Amino acid sequence: MSQQPISLISFEMAVTESIDEVFSTLGENVKQAMYSYLENNYGMREDQIPSMIDDFSTAVESLFGDAAKLVELKIIEKVQGKVKGFAYKSKSKEIFFAEYLSALKRHLKLN
């Protein structure tokens, strides 16, 4: 992805691609099972994830338990690699996935 000013569409693409890349590290069968789980249990298709971040985060937590934070951090790393020029500083010592993406959208003035 180029380092041009980002639109809502490219923001959504960066998030979707990042999630897909992280899920892919778990294997193709696991990735497809995760997307099926999201759709069957949360009514969330892959292309809807960027607009349903809170639900996605809840689903990841239900799937991975305590390891969900690691999955979310990997996704954040991938998004950060696609969207340059944004530095996120959490108010607490913990980084929250939905908070990070909301801050990125505000930074990009997409809200």
pLDDT of the residue at 10: 77
Contact call for residues 49 and 60 (beta carbons, < 8 A): no
**For 41-53, what is each residue's pLDDT tens digit?**
999 999 999 999 9
Report helix, strand and coil shares of the chain as percent, to nearest 5. Answer: 70, 0, 30
pLDDT of the residue at 70: 93
> What is the average pLDDT score of the chain?
85
Is pLDDT of 82 > 50? yes
- Section 72-81 average pLDDT: 90
Query: Who wins on pLDDT, 98 or 88?
Result: 98
Minimal CA–CA distance to 46: which of 37, 96, 28?
37
Contact call for residues 57 and 72 (beta carbons, < 8 A): yes
Minimal CA–CA distance to 97: which of 45, 35, 26, 49?
49
CB count within 10 Å of CB 108 equals 17
pLDDT band at 6; cut points 50, 70, 90? low
Specify the DSSP element, H or E, that contains 17: helix 8-24
